[in-house]
Amino acid sequence: MSTRSTSPEKWALCVVRCCLHLPQLFSTCVAFSLVTDMGIGKGAIGNWSLCIWGFCFTVTLITSITELCKVQSCFPFFWNNFPVTYACYSALVCLSVSIIYSVTYIQFLPYGPHRDRAIAATASSCIASVLYAMEVACTWNGYKIMNTTCYVLTVPGLLKVLETFMAGVIFAFLSNTSLYLHQPALEWCVAVYSICFILAAVTALLNLGEWEHRLPVEAVITMLSVLLYISALVLWPLYQFNEEFGGQPQRSSDGDCRDELTYNMCTWDQRLAVAVLTAINLLVYVADLGYWARQVSVGTEDQLRDS
């Protein structure tokens, strides 16, 4: 990783990050405080949202202190990779929390102070997501000026962030083990999500550590992930929504979905969410495969031209 920059440029980027960290801390703290202070049952979705906001607040605070105290060299990994990687994931998780919390919780609340607080918490989470995205954009521009490379700010790096993030959201829905334990085909789908997540995470970590000769290996891993996700995209809807395989084609057939107020997504909605997320993540893997296919094609043309 090349870093040809002057100390003032690095310090300027650090100042910009810290200026963004202040409203990030405020937004996540407000969202966390509002939901905590509501005083009513929050269910799994509310508790999951609180964990996300609390985690983002804590890591952002630690990152700010580390950069202000200039102790980045105490960490084993190159520090330039960590803040922007964390900001990418924080922007995505805060946005997903805002969407899931509003869709599965706020719409069922009666009009009143609790609903207003929940809406305000969702708005604060959206603001935090925008602020984290701004940090990614500012870091991207700063690294261009300083001629500093970073894996996360490349096309394959961003795709790996999306792949692992989408898998993480899928795992959140799969915390309800009743969705898949009754059927071996569905257990295979869960294994697919786990295998592909591990492969993507390991690949990202190796690239953050400046792994060389990654082109053929990463292309093969991406191809394998695409094939595995295709099998999951076929099997999951087939065994969840087809009556011949024990599925429930209609939402009304799920008794959990008939409750007027629920703090958890009903089982049928969770099945549908996993199916949709599987299709989206497959598209991300296909885009990743297309990128590596193009890289292999360009490399082959260069070799033929040299010979």
Domains identified in the chain, total number: 2
Highest-scoring range by mean pLDDT, 9-13, 273-277, 296-300? 273-277
Position 64 in a domain: yes
Is pLDDT of 134 > 80?
yes
- The answer to whether residue 197 sits within a structural domain is yes
Q: Determine, yes or no, domain membership for 250.
A: yes
Q: Is 136 found in the same domain as 163? A: no
Average pLDDT, the chain: 84
CB 98 within 8 A of CB 122: yes
Pair (146, 166) in one structural domain: no
Q: Is residue 113 in a domain?
A: yes
Q: Indicate whether 1 belongs to any domain.
A: no
Distances 292 to 159, 215, 267, 285 between C-alpha atoms, Å: 11, 7, 37, 11
Whether 146 and 158 share a structural domain: no
Q: Please state the separation of Cα 92 from the chain's center in Å.
A: 5
Which has more pLDDT, 255 or 187?
187
Buried/exposed 121-139: b ≥16 CB within 10 Å, e otherwise = bbbbbbbbbebbbbbbebb
Q: Which domain holds residue 199?
A: 154-306
Q: Give strand pairing partners of 3.
A: 148
Q: Which of 123, 150, 177 is the last residue of a domain?
A: 150
Enter the DSSP assignment of 39.
-
pLDDT at 70 exceeding the cut of 90: no
> What pLDDT score was predicted for residue 278?
97
The answer to whether 219 touches 291, Cβ cutoff 8 Å, is no
Last residue of a domain, one of 129, 150, 171: 150
DSSP state of 250: -
Give the C-alpha separation, 133 to 89, whole Å: 9
For residue 211, how far is the Cα from the chain centroid?
23
SS3 180: coil
Tell me: the pLDDT tens digits for 30-59?
999 988 877 655 666 778 889 999 999 999
**3-state DSSP assignment of residue 215:** helix
SS3 assignment, position 3? strand
What CA–CA distances, in Å, run from 11 to 4, 61, 68, 87, 238? Answer: 14, 18, 9, 18, 55
Same domain as 299, residue 159: yes
d(CA 247, CA 241): 4
Q: Per residue in 216-270, pLDDT tens?
A: 788 889 999 999 999 999 999 999 998 888 888 887 777 667 655 555 677 888 8
For position 90, what pLDDT does the model report? 95
Q: pLDDT-derived band of residue 1, with 50, 70 and 90 as boundaries? A: very low
Statement: residue 6 has pLDDT above 50: no
Within a domain: 51? yes
* Phi, psi torsion values for 58, nearest 5 degrees: -65, -50
pLDDT at 164 over 60: yes
Which has the higher per-residue pLDDT, 61 or 70?
Answer: 61
Say yes or no: 264 and 220 in one domain: yes
Do 210 and 283 share a structural domain?
yes
State the pLDDT at residue 222: 92
Which has the higher per-residue pLDDT, 13 or 274? 274
Looking at 126, 150, 174, the residue that finishes a domain is 150
- 297/304: higher pLDDT: 297
CA end-to-end distance (rounded Å), the chain: 30
Q: Are residues 111 and 93 both part of a single domain? A: yes
Does 289 or 6 have the greater pLDDT score? Answer: 289
In a domain, residue 262? The reply is yes
Q: Are residues 280 and 299 part of one domain?
A: yes
Same domain, 144 and 180: no
Question: What predicted TM-score, i.e. pTM, was given to this entire model?
Answer: 0.84
For residues 60, 63, 69, 71, the Cα torsion angle rounded to the nearest 10 degrees is: 170
Predicted local distance difference test score (pLDDT) of residue 247: 81
Q: Same structural domain for residues 135 and 218?
A: no
Domain assignment of residue 100, yes or no: yes
Query: Is the same domain home to 76 and 181?
Result: no
pLDDT value at residue 300: 55
122 with 223, same domain: the answer is no
